[in-house]
Chain A
Amino acid sequence: MSVAVDNTIDARGSACPGPTMELIKAMKSSSVGTVVEVLSSDKMTTIDGAAWLKKVGQELVETSDKGGYWSIIAKKIK
């Protein structure tokens, strides 16, 4: 699946505040329609991030294993 990403945050190696917080920060400061990607060296980011997106009603576009790190892509829909 190929998605046009507007903003990629490379949070690989980030211990604090961490990739999930980076996803929340990016989604909060983005305008509706923006597609955000967060790269993480922790697989849990794809699970935690997806759980948060579901809770706040934002769109999870995809998560993927990039070989050694993971990507989560989300779209701000409201």
Chain B
Amino acid sequence: MPKRIVIIGGGAGGTITANLLARNLYRQLVSGHVVINMITDKAEHVYQPGFLYVVFDKVRPDEIVRKQKEILDQNINLFVDPAVKIDKENKIVRTQSGKEFPYDFLVIATGSRIVPEDIPGLKEGGHWFYDMEGAKKLRQALKDFSGGRIAITVGVPHKCPVAPLEMTFMLYEYFKQKEMLDKVELFYTYPINRLHSLEPVANWAVPEFEKKGIKSETFFNMEEIDAEKKVVRSMEGSELNYDLLITVPPHKGAPVIADSGFGKDGWIPTNKKTLHNEGSDDVYVVGDTTNLPISKAGSTAHFESHIVAERISSEITEGFSETEYDGKVICFVETSFDEATYIWFNYKTPPTPVPPSKMIHWMKLGYNRLYWLSAKGIL
């Protein structure tokens, strides 16, 4: 009987984990001693950080989408058939079409999804850039925008924590290039009492906002949106009028997680070092799906994938594994159309942003292309 590895989710975390496992366990795969089955709900793989560039017409939508089959190792079995139930007791994953996938090791990488419908009026009144449809609609809204206040609001929780700042800085650059800064007011809001959750990033952003004339309000959590009157009301009791509302909607995990009793709102209790689902030794969790108090970001999923692939490979070939995750996250931060900075941090080391430069921006643009090598488990 071969060892059966089932991976649910074909985003960054699931794909990198699968490809690394296929490389580590090549001999076992071709000899039939190991089987890797990936179950996903989409036939296409999207490089999600690319949405930011789609909004500003810097990248065409088709440049950030590839067929999932093409980026997976040929020894991995791909099933585009959404998982609807994870039966932890019997070690079986059931899919929408009725198939059953028994497992010896399970990797859950079902990611997160935006839920604008959780805030009354947000779906009707807001624009966002967290999916392709939203990015394209926002691109058009910006082309049509003749002037007024653009409000930027941020839901909790959300992935890619630096994206609201990047969007704000890129909006400034966009309207500067269109020579419309005298007609546009950028108004940024944030859920906690500074401009970003990372204090060094928040401290760096303050003078940047002052220099660019970007207004802000902190401790601002969306309560409801009156799309007709174009007003955002916050939980903290304030009201903000807007002409165009750009929001980072709140996120939830995949429905299969809550439906299978793994975790409320779709986040799974996860051991911060081993990345096991708490209380389990054969179920691993990767990427946004964890309940870890760290950034939900592509780089988090990437680094976690290496740990999980190494642990499962070692457990199969050596019978044990001691590889552990140290909480590493790296994020590029675009500060305009031609400069960027970056931050890295882990459980023990806080981040320190470096001064923005053209070089880091070029590295980011380079990584946007190199991502496909990461997804393949090469970079």
| A contact residues vs B (CB 8 Å cutoff) | 9-11, 13-22, 24-25, 28-29, 48, 51-52, 55-56
Task: Beyond the given A11-B293, A21-B156, A24-B156, please list 11 additional residue pairs across the A-B interface where CB-CB is below 8 A.
Answer: A9-B293, A14-B293, A16-B295, A16-B345, A17-B156, A20-B193, A20-B197, A28-B156, A29-B264, A55-B236, A56-B221
Chain B nearest CB from A37 CB (Å) reads: 13
In the complex, chain B residues whose CB is within 8 Å of the CB of A29: 264-265
What are 19 of the A-B contact pairs (CB < 8 Å)?
A: A13-B327, A13-B348, A15-B294, A15-B345, A15-B351, A16-B198, A17-B156, A18-B293, A20-B193, A21-B157, A21-B197, A22-B293, A24-B191, A25-B156, A48-B192, A52-B192, A52-B193, A52-B219, A55-B219
B350: CB under 8 A from chain A? yes
In the complex, chain B residues whose CB is within 8 Å of the CB of A13: 327, 347-348
State A9–B264 Cα separation when bound (angstroms): 14
State A55–B157 Cα separation when bound (angstroms): 19
Chain B nearest CB from A61 CB (Å) reads: 19
Question: A7 — nearest CB in chain B belongs to which residue?
Answer: B264
Asked if A20 meets B345 with Cβ closer than 8 Å, knowing A11-B293, A29-B264, A55-B219, the reply is: no
Give the top 4 A-B pairs by smallest Cβ distance, nearest first: A14-B293, A11-B293, A13-B347, A18-B197
CB–CB A14/B219 < 8 A: no
B14: CB under 8 A from chain A? no
In the complex, chain B residues whose CB is within 8 Å of the CB of A19: 293
Indicate the member of A13, A19, A20, A51 with the most B CB atoms within 10 Å: A13
For residues 258 through 291 of chain B, which have their beta carbon under 8 Å from a beta carbon of chain A? 264-265
State A11–B294 Cα separation when bound (angstroms): 9
Indicate the member of A15, A22, A24, A29 with the most B CB atoms within 10 Å: A15
Q: Produce 1/0 per residue, B39-60, CB < 8 A to A.
A: 0000000000000000000000
Chain A nearest CB from B126 CB (Å) reads: 17
CB–CB B294/A14 < 8 A: yes
In the complex, chain A residues whose CB is within 8 Å of the CB of B351: 15-16
In the complex, chain A residues whose CB is within 8 Å of the CB of B347: 13
In the complex, chain A residues whose CB is within 8 Å of the CB of B156: 17, 21, 24-25, 28
In the complex, chain A residues whose CB is within 8 Å of the CB of B192: 18, 20-21, 24, 48, 52
Q: Which of A14, A18, A56 contacts B235 (CB 8 A)?
A: A56
Chain A nearest CB from B165 CB (Å) reads: 12
Give the tally of cross-chain contacts (CB within 8 A).
68
Asked if A17 meets B193 with Cβ closer than 8 Å, knowing A55-B236, A56-B235, the reply is: no
State A10–B278 Cα separation when bound (angstroms): 14
State A53–B197 Cα separation when bound (angstroms): 17
Question: A58 — nearest CB in chain B belongs to which residue?
Answer: B235
Question: B252 — nearest CB in chain A belongs to which residue?
Answer: A29
State A48–B193 Cα separation when bound (angstroms): 7
Question: B194 — nearest CB in chain A belongs to which residue?
Answer: A48
Indicate the member of B156, B295, B327, B351 with the most A CB atoms within 10 Å: B156
Chain B nearest CB from A13 CB (Å) reads: 4
Question: A14 — nearest CB in chain B belongs to which residue?
Answer: B293
Question: A52 — nearest CB in chain B belongs to which residue?
Answer: B219
In the complex, chain B residues whose CB is within 8 Å of the CB of A10: 293
CB–CB B198/A15 < 8 A: yes
In the complex, chain B residues whose CB is within 8 Å of the CB of A55: 219, 236-237
B298: CB under 8 A from chain A? no
State A44–B21 Cα separation when bound (angstroms): 42
In the complex, chain A residues whose CB is within 8 Å of the CB of B295: 16-17
Chain B nearest CB from A69 CB (Å) reads: 13
State A54–B327 Cα separation when bound (angstroms): 32
State A22–B327 Cα separation when bound (angstroms): 17
Q: Produce 1/0 per residue, B181-199, CB < 8 A to A.
A: 0000000000111000110
Asked if A15 meets B350 with Cβ closer than 8 Å, knowing A25-B156, A29-B264, A55-B237, the reply is: yes
State A24–B192 Cα separation when bound (angstroms): 8
